Amino acid sequence: MDQQSIKNRFGIIGNSPALNYALQVATQVANTDLTVLINGESGVGKEAFSQIIHSLSARKHNPFIAVNCGAIPEGTIDSELFGHEKGSFTGAADSRKGYFETVNSGTIFLDEIGEMPLGTQARLLRVLESGEFIRVGSSKVQKTDVRVVAATNKDLLEWVQQNRFREDLYYRLNTVPIRVPALRDRKEDIPLLFRKFVIDFAERYKTTPVQLDEGARQRLVNYTWPGNIRELKNIAEQISVLATDKQVNATELTRFLPENNMNRMPVLVGGGQQQSGQFNNEREILYKLFFDMKRDVTELKKLFMEVMQNPSAAQNPAFMNELKDLQHHHETSQPVLVPHNVPAQPVIMHDSIHDHVEVDESLNIMDKEKELIIKALKKHRGKRKDAAMDLGISERTLYRKLKEYDIDE
C-alpha cells in the first residue's frame, strides 16, 4: 500500500518530510513483531500511528487495545494489565483477565508509558523478554503473544538518568523509534489541516465553511500550537460556530487564539533581560531557579564564613568587589521567574551582608515540590484532578507524590 493510500485510510493530512518519514518507518516495521516506541508531544496523533502499525501487520485480524498508563491508578494498573485472582486484594470478588491475556495474539498500545510505575515496568519487561506474566495474587506463570507499541511525550532517556524509568525497559521498548513531528515543525500542513476541519464542521452544523484571508492564514501558520493537532481542531470548531463572517481576517482569527501564547510562559521581573532560550515547561524553569538560588547562597555562605573566620576581611577591597559582583549577578543575570497569573513583586536588595545570608532556608527540590503540591491542594480544596492540572502532572503522578511525601489531604 502506497503512502498516500495510508494517509487517506487513516485520515492523516500533510506532506511535510518529517511526517512522511515517520509514516515510512511505521509501514516498514508494521509487518514485523518488533517493539515500537512512538515519541511526540501531546496532541500530535501518536495513537493513529499505533493503529497503522497494527492494521498493516499480520495481527490485523486479531485484537487491538489502547491503554493510557497515566489514567490508571497505581494501585490497579497491575491488575488491569496482567489480571488478578479472586481475593488477591480488597474488592477482588472474582478472578479477572488482564489486557495481556485478552489481547493474546494481537497488539497492545501503551500510551504515556513514562507514567507507568517502576514495579509495573519490571513486569512489562518480563513480558517483552519472555512472553510470560503472572496474575496479581497468583503464582502460576502464563504465556502471551502480544505485540507492544508504546508512546510517550516525555524524554525517557532523561527519566532513566533520574531513576524514574528503567534503563533496560527503555532500550527494550526503543527497538524501533518513531518520532511524530509537532505541528509547529510542519507549518506547511497547518492550512491543509485547518481546511479539512472547517469543512467537516460545516457539514456537521449545516453551515458554509469559513475561509481565511492571507493575513489570517499567516497568523494561523505562525502560531506555535502547543496543543498541536488537537488544539488546531478545537480552534477550527470554535471559528466554524462563532465567527460572525465566513471570510475570516487576522483580527477575527486572533480572537480565538490565546494571547500570543504568553499564558504558557513565565513572566520576568527585575532588571534582567528576557533570554532567547525560553523553557517550555514551568517545572524546568522552577528547577533552574532553585539551582541558581542554591549557587548564589553557596557563594554567600563562603563569603560569610570568610568574614566569621577573619573579620578584617570585610574591609578588604577584593572582598567587597566580590560581594558587589555577586549582587550585580543576582540583579541582572538571575531574573525572578513567576507564573503569568502571579502578581509581580519588586526585588529588594539591602546593603547589609546579613540581609543576604539565608543559610537556614531549604533549597531541596523535593521540599519545594512537596510545598507546591500542598499549596495546589489547598487552592483547589483537595480536588486532586484540578490540583494535578494546575501542577502540570497527571492525577496518577500526583497520587504517587502524595504517598511518596506522606502528604495528608
For residue 368, what pLDDT is reported?
75
Would you state the pLDDT for residue 269? 39
Of 349 and 26, the structure prediction assigns the larger pLDDT to: 26
Q: How far is CA 399 from the centre of its chain?
A: 17
d(CA 390, CA 384): 10
- What's the confidence (pLDDT) of residue 392? 76
- The residues spanned by each domain of the chain are 3-181, 184-262, 267-355, 365-404
Instruction: Scan for cell 524524554, then name that residue.
Output: 155
Task: Indicate the range of 97-106, 217-226, 335-344 predicted with least confidence.
Answer: 335-344
Of residues 379 and 60, more confidently modeled: 60
Burial class (CB in 10 A: 0-12, 13-18, 19+), 339: middle
User: Which residue has cell 508509558?
Assistant: 113
pTM: predicted TM-score of the whole model, two decimal places: 0.63
More confident residue, 339 or 383: 383
Question: One fold for both 184-262 and 365-404?
Answer: no
Q: Which long-range contacts (CB under 8 A, 24 or more apart) does 67-70 make?
A: 67/99, 67/108, 67/109, 67/110, 67/111, 68/111, 68/112, 69/110, 69/111, 69/112, 69/113, 69/114, 69/115, 69/116, 70/111, 70/112, 70/115, 70/394, 70/396, 70/397
Mean pLDDT of the chain: 81
Question: Given 3-state DSSP classes, what are the helix, strand and coil percentages for the chain, each rounded to the nearest 5?
Answer: 55, 10, 35
Statement: residue 6 has pLDDT above 80: yes
Using CA atoms, how far apart are residues 211 and 194, in angstroms rounded to an integer?
Answer: 10
pLDDT tier at 267 (50, 70, 90 boundaries)?
Answer: very low
**Quick one: pLDDT at residue 390?**
79
Tens of pLDDT along 44-67?
999 999 999 999 999 999 999 999
Per-residue model confidence as pLDDT tens digits over 293-347: 655 666 666 666 665 556 665 555 555 555 555 555 544 444 444 444 444 444 3
Burial of 408 (0-12, 13-18, 19+ CB in 10 A): exposed
Percent of the chain scoring above 90 in pLDDT: 58
Q: Is the pLDDT of residue 366 over 90?
A: no
More confident residue, 278 or 158: 158
CA distance 242 to 255: 10
Q: Of 368, 379, 357, nearest to 401 (Cα)?
A: 368
Give the model's confidence band at 143: pLDDT under 50 very low, under 70 low, under 90 confident, else very high.
very high
Query: For the sheet containing 176-179, what is the strand order?
Result: 64-68, 107-111, 147-152, 36-39, 176-179
Reported confidence tier of residue 277, pLDDT bands at 50, 70, 90: very low
Assign domain 365-404 one CATH number from 1.10.15, 2.60.120, 1.10.540, 1.10.10.
Answer: 1.10.10
Q: Using the predicted structure, report yes or no on whether residue 142 has a pLDDT greater than 60.
A: yes
Q: What is the dihedral of CA 258, 264, 268, 272, to 10 degrees?
A: -100
CATH code, residues 3-181: 3.40.50.300
Residues 80-100 have a mean pLDDT of 90
Q: Tell me the mean pLDDT in the region 245-257.
A: 92
Mean pLDDT over 105-124 rounds to 96
What is the reported pLDDT for 409? Answer: 66
Exposure string of 277-301, with b = 16+ CB inside 10 Å and e = fewer, is eeeeebeebbeebbebbeebbebbe
Please state the length of the chain: 409
Instruction: Locate all alpha helices (DSSP H) within 77-212, ordered by sequence.
Output: 77-82, 99-102, 118-130, 156-161, 167-173, 190-205
Considering the domain 184-262, what is its CATH architecture?
A: Orthogonal Bundle (1.10)
pLDDT of residue 357: 42
Collect all residues with Cβ–Cβ distance below 8 Å to 164 and sequence separation of at least 6: 114, 118
From the list 72, 85, 81, the residue with the least C-alpha distance to 100 is 81
pLDDT at 365: 66
